[in-house]
Chain A
Amino acid sequence: DGGITQSPKYLFRKEGQNVTLSCEQNLNHDAMYWYRQDPGQGLRLIYYSQIVNDFQKGDIAEGYSVSREKKESFPLTVTSAQKNPTAFYLCASSDRGGANVLTFGAGSRLTVL
């Protein structure tokens, strides 16, 4: 079955460490997204990519980095520069164009100790 796989589901990090969250899709979607979800804040866009080897900053890109070397993969690195990284992270993908809906992964919960 087609879908999006995020890993790990739970991740613990010490302060000062970089961590990478994986997002893989087999839906042949061109566009991929990373959102951060905090209580009362909804979903905030971190980065998105419309095509391989290209990506754009979202509203809260500071302290995060991404790459899009393959169509099916869009990993997110949470760097030590992110001041408050504890959150729930959602990856999504879609075909390009406004009518197309997002398909979401199950999410990754990052906790900084």
Chain B
Amino acid sequence: AQTVTQSQPEMSVQEAETVTLSCTYDTSESDYYLFWYKQPPSRQMILVIRQEAYKQQNATENRFSVNFQKAAKSFSLKISDSQLGDAAMYFCAYRRSNRDDKIIFGKGTRLHILP
């Protein structure tokens, strides 16, 4: 069975600094998708970034980028120039391709931004 592990329950970063959130996953599949979702204090979940496993290039969305290491089954999220609005729970998620639509989430990392 697929699993997603986020080993950092909480992290803190100074405003304007860079922080990296870790995620590892376990799967026997070769084709899949990985996601980072953000849950701010409002609890409304939103997508941060998506990575296709068949792509070697790491995904980037403005200040958010990933370090995807397929062989190591690692999918970390880097937030550059951290802003107060980045304070949230961040969830890593895994989804198989073209099989069933089951999506598995990690337990989350709570990110604090220090002014």
Enumerate chain A interface residues (CB-CB to B < 8 A).
Answer: 31, 33, 35, 40-45, 48, 50, 56, 58, 88, 90, 92, 94, 96-99, 101-102, 104, 106-107
Contact = CB atoms under 8 A, between A and B. Distances in A.
A99 B101 contact: no
A97 B98 contact: yes
Contacts, number: 65
B74 to A, nearest CB: 18
A98 B96 CA distance: 6
Given A42-B6, A42-B106, A102-B103, 17 more contacts: A31-B101, A42-B91, A42-B105, A42-B107, A43-B105, A45-B102, A48-B103, A50-B101, A94-B101, A97-B101, A98-B95, A98-B98, A99-B33, A102-B37, A102-B93, A106-B44, A107-B44
29 contacts: A33-B103, A40-B9, A40-B107, A42-B107, A43-B105, A45-B104, A48-B101, A50-B101, A56-B100, A56-B102, A88-B43, A92-B45, A94-B101, A96-B101, A97-B97, A97-B98, A98-B32, A98-B33, A98-B95, A98-B96, A98-B98, A99-B50, A99-B97, A102-B93, A102-B103, A104-B44, A104-B45, A106-B42, A106-B44
Nearest to B95: A98
The 10 nearest A-B residue pairs measured at CB? A98-B97, A42-B107, A104-B45, A43-B105, A98-B33, A31-B101, A101-B47, A98-B95, A42-B108, A42-B105
Contacts of A102: 35, 37, 45, 47, 93, 103
Nearest to A41: B107
Nearest to A30: B101
Contact of A48 (B46, B50, B93, B102): B102
B86 interface: no
A104 B106 CA distance: 16
Nearest to B47: A101
A45 B102 CA distance: 8
